[in-house]
Structure 1
């Protein structure tokens, strides 16, 4: 159950349950940093356990490439990418 940068995830526990996020940082085998560009901005990502996330097969390559290369990625880019994946929960899982 490993996540990669730019992967679209769905929170299944906590106050943000049911929300869609993008993995913006990898801490270790159990924790990742997630952002949605709105309530959780890139400047202040949420540290979340992998067991509290539903990991989808969708990876936003543009965001992953920018983060891994150290380029500036904006919150607007993250929001725009999430809008494309903002489908009913049944279609994501």
Structure 2
């Protein structure tokens, strides 16, 4: 799998305090860990480090946010929050 192919994917947390919450992958640390953010509790300035095996992938990709991250521009918390709310996937599972 290409390293940047995970960035921008919408995921649900399967374990931990943030279980059942929805996030967007905003960075890749290694083959095992990624950084996730929801723009609210876990802001883009301090994303959560999470094991990939503790994430459930939704099949949705935040294309606009993914493009901003890959072009190395700054993503805002409001963009992430608005995407998760408007896509109606920000609801807890």
* Stretches (4+) displaced over 6 A: none
Is 1:86 paired with 2:87? no
TM-score by length of 2: 0.88
- What SS class does the counterpart of residue 67 from structure 1 fall into? helix
Q: 5+ residue gaps in structure 1?
A: none
Kindly state the Cα deviation for residue 86 of structure 1 after the two structures are TM-superposed. Answer: 2.5
Given that 2:25 and 2:36 are in contact with CA atoms closer than 8 Å, whether structure 1 keeps it comes out as yes
Cα distance in 2 for residues equivalent to 1:54 and 1:20: 9
Kindly state the Cα deviation for residue 28 of structure 1 after the two structures are TM-superposed. Answer: 1.2
TM-score by length of 1: 0.88
Give the RMSD, CA atoms, in angstroms.
1.7
- In structure 1, the residue matched to 2:70 is 68
Deviation track 1:35-54 (CA, whole Å, cap 9, x = no partner) reads: 00000000000000001110
Cα distance in 2 for residues equivalent to 1:15 and 1:87: 16
Match of 1:13 among 15, 19, 23: 15
Matched residue count: 89
Kindly state the Cα deviation for residue 55 of structure 1 after the two structures are TM-superposed. Answer: 1.2
Q: 5+ residue gaps in structure 2?
A: none
Deviation track 1:22-77 (CA, whole Å, cap 9, x = no partner) reads: 00001111100000000000000000000111012110000000001111210000
Is 1:23 paired with 2:29? no
